[in-house]
Chains A and B, each alone.
Chain A
Amino acid sequence: MILQAVTLTLRLALAASVLLLLLSVPLAYWLAFSARRWKFFVEALVSLPIVLPPTVLGFYLLVALGPRSPIGHWYQAITGHTLAFTFEGLVIGSVLYSLPFAVQPMETSFAAVDRRLLQASALLGASRWRTFWRILLPLGLPGVLTGFVLSFAHTLGEFGVVLMIGGNIPGATRTISILIFDQVEALDYAAANRTALLLLAFCFLLLAALYGLRRRIVWGLWEWR
Chain B
Amino acid sequence: MSGGETPASGQELSVRIRKGFAGEDRRSFVLNVDFTVAPGFTILFGASGAGKTTLLDCIAGLQTPMQGRIAIAQHVLFDSASGVDLPANRRALGYLLQSLGLFPHLSVRQNVQYGLHGLPAHERAARSQEALASLRIAALAERRPAELSGGERQRTALARTLVTRPRVLLLDEPLAALDAKRRSQIVDDLRSWNEKQRIPILYVTHQREEVFALGERVVALEAGNIVAQGPAHEVLHRPELETVAQLAGFENIFECAFIAAHSRQGTMTCRIAGCAVDLEVPLSRIEPSRPLRIGIRAGDILLASSPPQGLSARNVFPGVIERLHQRDVMVVAAVDCGATFEVHVTPAAREALQLQPGRTVWLVIKTYSCQVLQASG
Contact = CB atoms under 8 A, between A and B. Distances in A.
A121 interface: yes
Interface string A115-138: 011011111111100100011001
Interface stretch (B8-16, B96-104, B321-329): B96-104
Contacts of A222: 105
Contacts of B100: 120
Contacts of A116: 97, 99, 101
Contacts of B115: 124-126
Contacts of A127: 89
B62 A119 contact: yes
A125 B117 contact: yes
B221 interface: no
Interface residues of B: mostly helix, strand, loop or mixed? loop
B103 A120 contact: yes
Contacts of B117: 125-126, 130
Contact of B106 (A119, A126, A225): A225
Interface in B104-126: 104-106, 110, 114-115, 117-118
B97 A135 contact: no
Nearest to B57: A119
Contacts, number: 65
Contacts of A138: 105
B74 to A, nearest CB: 21
Given A130-B117, A225-B106, A225-B110, A122 B88 contact: yes
B374 interface: no
Contacts of B60: 123
Contacts of B160: 124
A150 interface: no
Given A125-B89, A126-B114, A130-B117, A119 B97 contact: yes
Interface-centre pick from A114, A119, A138, A225 (highest chain B CB count, 10 A): A119
Interface in B63-96: 87-90, 92-95
Interface of B: 1-2, 60-62, 87-90, 92-95, 97, 99-106, 110, 114-115, 117-118, 160-161, 164
Given A116-B97, A124-B114, 16 more contacts: A120-B97, A120-B101, A121-B103, A122-B88, A122-B89, A123-B89, A123-B94, A123-B97, A124-B115, A124-B161, A125-B1, A125-B89, A126-B89, A126-B115, A126-B117, A134-B114
24 contacts: A114-B101, A116-B99, A117-B101, A119-B97, A120-B100, A120-B102, A121-B114, A122-B61, A122-B62, A123-B89, A123-B94, A124-B2, A124-B89, A124-B114, A124-B115, A124-B164, A125-B90, A126-B114, A126-B117, A127-B89, A130-B117, A134-B103, A138-B105, A139-B104
